[in-house]
Amino acid sequence: MAMFWDKERETLRGKRLEELQAKQLRWTVSLAENVPFYRERLREAGISADDIRSTDDLSRLPFTKKTDLREGYPFGFFAVPRREIVRVHTTSGTTGKPTVVGYTQRDIDTWSDLIARNLTMVGLTADDTFQNAVNYGLFTGGLGFHYGAERTGMMVVPSATGNTKRQIEMIQDFGVTALHCTPGYALHITEVIEEMGVTLDSLRIGCFGAEAWSETMRHELETRLAIDAYDSYGMSEMYGPGVAFECTEKHGLHIWEDCYLPEIIDPATGETLGPGEKGELVITSLSKEAMPMIRYRTGDITMFIEDECPCGRGLRIARIMGRSDDMLVIRGINVFPSQIEHVLLGIPEVGDQFMVYIDRVHHLDEMTIDVEMNRSAFSGELGDLVGLQKQIQQRLQEALSLRTSVRLVEPGSLPRFEGKAKRVIDRRGDL
C-alpha cells in the first residue's frame, strides 16, 4: 500500500494544481521584486507580478544562471530582511566565491517536509533507523536529510562521511534500516563488507543522490546489499536535496509540483521542449521565501515522463543523463574547472597549464590534477617540491571542499590548446 506524508499535496493534479501554481508563481515573482537583480531583469522583460495570470506566463520571465548568483554574493539574492534568515548554506560557485543560500524558518519547515514526503514515499516510518552518511555543515545534503528524517520520527544516526569500518559497525550494531549516501560510497561500503565477509541484515532501503548513477548500478546495489535503492535529486539553489525522488515504482523521480515549477529547454536556444524530449531542466521555485529562484537553469539534462504513475503522484523527470555545462560531480560535490584554474592562478610557483583526470578507484571518485612546475620557481630541493605539492592540494581542498591528488609535472609537458581548452579527462565509466 502506498504511503503518503501529505497525500493531498502529493497528489494534487489538474486545475487545482494549476491554480495553486499560478498563485504561488505570482507570490514568488512579487517576492523576487525585492531583489535588485530580479527587479532589473523583470523590468527589462517588461513584466511584473501583477501580470502573472497563469503558469503560461512563465515563458515571459527571464532565466537565472549560476553565474548570475555570483554577482549577488553574499546576500544579493535574499528577498527578505536579514532578521528573517535563520540558516545559510553554501555551495560551489564557478570561481572563487561560493554561492550562498539563505533560509527562513518557513523554508526550513517546507524543506524538511519535502524530505519527509520522499522518505515516506519509499516506505520509511518512525520505526526505522536512518544512517545519514553524507557531509554535514555547509553542505545541504547532511542537515537537509537530518531534519527531514527527524520530522518523520525515525531514529537518526548522523554518521556523516568517512571511516567506512565504523559506518558498517554502526549499521550492524544499531540495526540501521535505511542508509543515505552517494551511490559511489554505497558501492564502496558493499565492497568493504564483502571483503570483511559480513552482511548488513537490518538494512532494507538506500537513498542515493548527489551524483548521477545508472540502472546497472541500482542492480548491483540492490542485489549485493539486499536492499531497495532509490534515486534522490536536488540542488542547494532549490533548498538542497528533496526536489524530486523516486517512488517504489523506481521509474522516474516525482518532482514536487506544488513547490517547484519545472520546464525542459533546449540549452542552446532556450526554447521550451515537449514531453519525451531531452533537454536542460529549468526550475522556478514556488514556495521559497528567503531566496526565490526564477527559471533557474539547473544544467542537468533530463526529460519529463508523462504517463500516469501507479502510486498516484504527479509529474516525473527521468534520471539525470548529463550536464549542459562543464560542471563535474566528484563524490557528490560539484566542481567547476574554472574553480581549479582560479586557485592555480593564485600560486606563482606553478604555471597556468593544468590537466584534470577523474578516475574511479574502489567505486570512489578520485581527482588527479597535473600541474606544470614553473621553471624559475624550482629551487633544486626535493623538500620544496613536496611542500609546494602539499600547498596546492591544500588550496584546492579549501576552494573545492574536496581532497585531490596533485602531481607536479615538467614544464612544457602538458598539451596546449588552440581553441577551446579540453582540460578534463573523465575516465570514469558508467556508474
Partner 1 sequence: MQEEYIIKQISVFSENKPGRLAAIAEALQKSNVNIFAFSIAEASSFGVVRALVDTPETARSVLEKLGFAVQFTDVIAVRMKDEPGGLHQVARILGDAGINIEYAYAYSGREAAVLILRVSQAGEAISKIRAAGGSLLRESDLS
Partner 2 sequence: MHCWDPRIETMPKEDLQKLQYRLLKTLVYRLYSFSEFYHRRMKEAGVHPDDIRTLSDIRLLPFMYKHDLRDNYPNRIFCAPHDEVVRYHVSSGTTGKPTVVGYTRKDLDLWTTSLARALTSCGLGRGDVIQVSYGYGLFTGGLGLHYGAERIGAAVLPTSVGNTERQIELMQDLKATAIACTPSYLIHIGEAAERMGISIKNDTDLRSAIIGAEPWSESMRTRIYETMGVKAYNIYGTSEISGPMFSECTAQQGIHIWGDIAYPEIIDPVTGEVLESGESGELVMTVLQKEALPMIRYRIGDITRIDDEPCACGRTHPRIQRITGRVDDMLIIRGINVFPSAVEHALLGIPELAGHFLIEVDRKGSLDDMIVRVEVAPEAFSDRINDLINIKKKVEHTLKSALNVAVVVELAEPGSLPRFEGKAKRVIDRRVI
3-class DSSP state for residue 375? Answer: helix
266 or 359: CB nearest partner 1 = 359
CB 320 within 8 A of CB 212: yes
How many chain residues are in contact with partner 2, going by CB under 8 A? 42
Q: How far apart (Å, rounded) are the C-alpha atoms in residues 220 and 185? A: 13
How would you classify the pairing of strands 260-265 and 155-157? unpaired
90 binds partner 2 (CB under 8 A): yes
Contacts of 389 (CB under 8 A, 6+ apart): 406, 407, 408
Report what 373 binds from partner 2, partner 1, none; CB cut-off 5-8 Å by kind: partner 1
User: Binding string, 100-129, against partner 2, x = CB under 8 A?
Assistant: x-------------------------xx--
Least CB distance from residue 396 to partner 2, whole Å? 11
386 binds partner 1 (CB under 8 A): yes
Helix orientation angle between 164-174 and 183-196, rounded to the nearest 10 degrees? 80
3-class DSSP state for residue 56? Answer: helix
3-class DSSP state for residue 350? Answer: strand
Q: How far apart (Å, rounded) are the C-alpha atoms in residues 349 and 376? A: 8
Least CB distance from residue 353 to partner 1, whole Å? 12
277 or 410: CB nearest partner 1 = 410
Q: How far apart (Å, rounded) are the C-alpha atoms in residues 298 and 281? A: 6
Least CB distance from residue 359 to partner 1, whole Å? 14
23 or 390: CB nearest partner 1 = 390
Where does this chain touch partner 2 (CB under 8 A) — which range of 15-23, 68-76, 269-277, 297-305?
Answer: 68-76
3-state secondary structure string, 153-182?
Answer: CCEEECCCCCCHHHHHHHHHHHCCCEEEEC
197 or 380: CB nearest partner 1 = 380
Of 172, 183, 119, the C-alpha closest to 145 is 119
- For the segment 316-375, give every residue that binds partner 1 (CB under 8 A): 373, 375
98 or 279: CB nearest partner 2 = 98
Q: How far apart (Å, rounded) are the C-alpha atoms in residues 112 and 106? A: 10
- For the segment 170-229, give every residue that binds partner 2 (CB under 8 A): 170, 173-174
Q: How far apart (Å, rounded) are the C-alpha atoms in residues 35 and 289? A: 12
Q: Which of 407, 422, 425, 427 binds partner 1 (CB under 8 A)?
A: 407
Of 374, 307, 367, 360, the C-alpha closest to 337 is 367
3-state secondary structure string, 356-370?
Answer: EEEEEECCEEEEEEE
381 binds partner 1 (CB under 8 A): yes
17 or 170: CB nearest partner 2 = 170
88 binds partner 2 (CB under 8 A): yes
Q: How far apart (Å, rounded) are the C-alpha atoms in residues 398 and 408? A: 19
Least CB distance from residue 384 to partner 1, whole Å? 10
Report what 411 binds from partner 2, partner 1, none; CB cut-off 5-8 Å by kind: partner 1
The number of beta carbons lying within 10 Å of the beta carbon of residue 271 is: 10
Q: Which of 397, 407, 413, 425 binds partner 2 (CB under 8 A)?
A: 397
Burial code (b: 16+ CB inside 10 Å, e: under 16) for 321-343 equals eebbbebbbbbbbbbbbebbbbb
Where does this chain touch partner 1 (CB under 8 A) — which range of 117-125, 246-254, 394-402, 404-412?
Answer: 404-412
How many chain residues are in contact with partner 1, going by CB under 8 A? 17
216 binds partner 1 (CB under 8 A): no
Report what 216 binds from partner 1, partner 2, none; CB cut-off 5-8 Å by kind: none
Q: Which of 125, 199, 216, 413 binds partner 1 (CB under 8 A)?
A: 413
Residues that bind partner 2 (CB under 8 A): 73-75, 82-83, 85-90, 97-98, 100, 126-127, 136-138, 142-143, 146, 150, 153-163, 165-166, 170, 173-174, 397-398, 401
Residues that bind partner 1 (CB under 8 A): 373, 375, 378-382, 385-386, 389, 407-413
